Structure 1
Amino acid sequence: MKTLIINAQPDFLNDTHFSVRLQQLFLKQFSERFPNEAPAILNLYDHEIPRIETEQLLAVWNKQQAGDELTVDEAKIAETSNQLLSQFKAHHRIVIVSPLHNFNVTSRMKDYIDNILIARETFKYTETGSVGLMTDDYKVLLLQASGSIYTNQDRYTPLEFSRFYLEKMFVEMMGFDSFDIVRAEGTNVLSADAVWQSVPQQMKLAFSQFYGE
């Protein structure tokens, strides 16, 4: 099963982060389940991800729509964006590794989504609304670490915009079959052991669903 891990942790080389530990746990289970395979790993903060700015994606899209020739720099931006999109579409299992930043996804993750949420590629517009095109057994799993706890049905629960945003974009907009989440939460209020206590079981259940076991 072709799997793409999208690591949106800015400090992705620091294995003290719970989000990085979540990725390591996933990789351990993956190697046990698929000993002859290896997932592709894209560390977003180790790459230049094109952004929606006047001198980047906006310039590229406007010129492409007008049929104008791109500059050398714009052509490189277009090529990078196309490569990200092609890589994304080629993997039917998407794993997002991320901390929760101010209740939402990291800035580089948002930039990445701007390169893959493309009309006529991953969704299309119709007279009755948009329709997802990623409907051929695509699934997404979010591995998220957060300083607070968002599952207590209190004031923090509706502020977990990251989960809601990603689920809506992947399932409702792009047509993914499923969205699941494994949380390491309360990293700023609980001990490390308490944070990790439920994680292995969460991962085991999510992994089984992710690969249809």
Structure 2
Amino acid sequence: MTKILLVNSSVRRTDSVSRKVTGEFVAKWKAREPGTVVVERDVAAQPLPHLNEQTLGAFFTPPEQRTPEQAEIARLSETLVQELFDADVIVIGAPMYNFSITSGLKAWIDHVARAGVTFKYAESGPVGLLTGKKVYIFTATGGVYTSGPAQGMDFLGTYLRAVLGFIGLTDVTFVHSEGLAMGEAGVEKALAQTGATINELLPA
């Protein structure tokens, strides 16, 4: 039985391409494997608190030494981390906002990228602890960033690959829906290409 963690981050509840394509991907997966369990974490509809001094203090205090207040502060992060450890497959909807990820997705990363929890420092350097999992990232961009003159402005893909790899998630596949601001024809072309890629990833 496959366990999928679905993380959506678009602030749009309607007309969101990233939500549309992650939904299609997960639905197709479930059709192929009816026993699949899906846990959804919507970091836009249910925003996570950004880190502050109290949160960092709780993170860096050993669990057995935390005050009741610190234990409560850390509880949300521990839930998010456990969702990752429990998942076999992680599906992330990541629209590009100002050349990078949404602030909601960044907050999620800040809660799950934790020293001693999802990565550790060894003599040879940092070691990711979230291993043996498959990640699919569905991006949605108004322009074209996988090639051409705007390629150097894509900080979304480079950041996600780096930070996820840092915590051990190195088996990452990106599916891009791009050119969405280039008129109706651009949207149709992007969705057709994404649909074709989904069919290649999950053949009938």
1:86 aligned to 2:82? Answer: yes
Residue 140 (structure 2) aligned to one of 129, 135, 145? 145
User: 1:126: Cα distance to partner?
Assistant: 1.3
Q: Displacement of 1:115 after TM fit?
A: 1.1
Q: Structure 2 unaligned runs (5+)?
A: none
1:57 CA drift (Å): 1.3
Residue by residue over 1:126-155, the C-alpha shift from the partner in whole angstroms, topping out at 9 and shown as x without a partner, is 1221011122x2111101110001122x22
2:192 maps to 1:194: no
Q: Which amino acid in the other structure matches residue 164 of structure 1?
A: T
Cα distance in 1 for partners of 2:133, 2:23 equals 22
State the AA in 1 paired with 2:75: E
Give the whole-Å Cα distance in 1 for the aligned partners of 2:175 and 2:24: 11
Q: Distance in 2 between matches of 1:68 and 1:138?
A: 31
* Partner residue in 2 for 1:179: 172
Question: 2:35 maps to which residue?
Answer: 36
Quote the RMSD (CA, aligned, Å).
Answer: 2.2
Aligned residues: 201
Give the letter for the 2:8 counterpart: N
**Aligned partners of 2:161 and 2:170 also within 8 Å:** no
Matched residue, 1:162:
156
Structure 2-normalised TM-score?
Answer: 0.88
What's 1:51 paired with? Answer: 50
1:45 is paired with a residue of what secondary structure?
A: coil
Q: Please list the CA deviations of residues 31-67 of structure 1 after superposition, one character each: whole Å capped at 9, or x if unmatched.
A: 221123241111112324232212x412423555994
Q: Please give the secondary structure, in 1, of the residue aligned with 2:44.
A: helix
Q: Is the 8 A contact 1:146 1:186 kept in 2?
A: yes
Task: Tell me if 1:2 matches 2:3.
Answer: yes
Within 5 Å, give how 1:195-210 maps onto structure 2: 195-207=190-202
Matched-pair identity in %: 25
Q: Secondary structure, in 3 states, of the residue corresponding to 1:198?
A: helix
Contact 1:182/1:206, CA 8 A, preserved across alignment: no
**Tell me, which stretches of 5 or more residues in structure 1 are unaligned?**
none
Report which stretch shifted further, 56-65 or 114-123.
Answer: 56-65
- Please point out which of 93, 101, 107 is paired with 1:111: 107
Shift of 1:193: 1.4
CA contact (8 A) 1:51 1:111 kept: yes
Counterpart selection for 1:60 from 47, 51, 58: 58
Partner secondary structure for residue 204 of structure 1:
helix
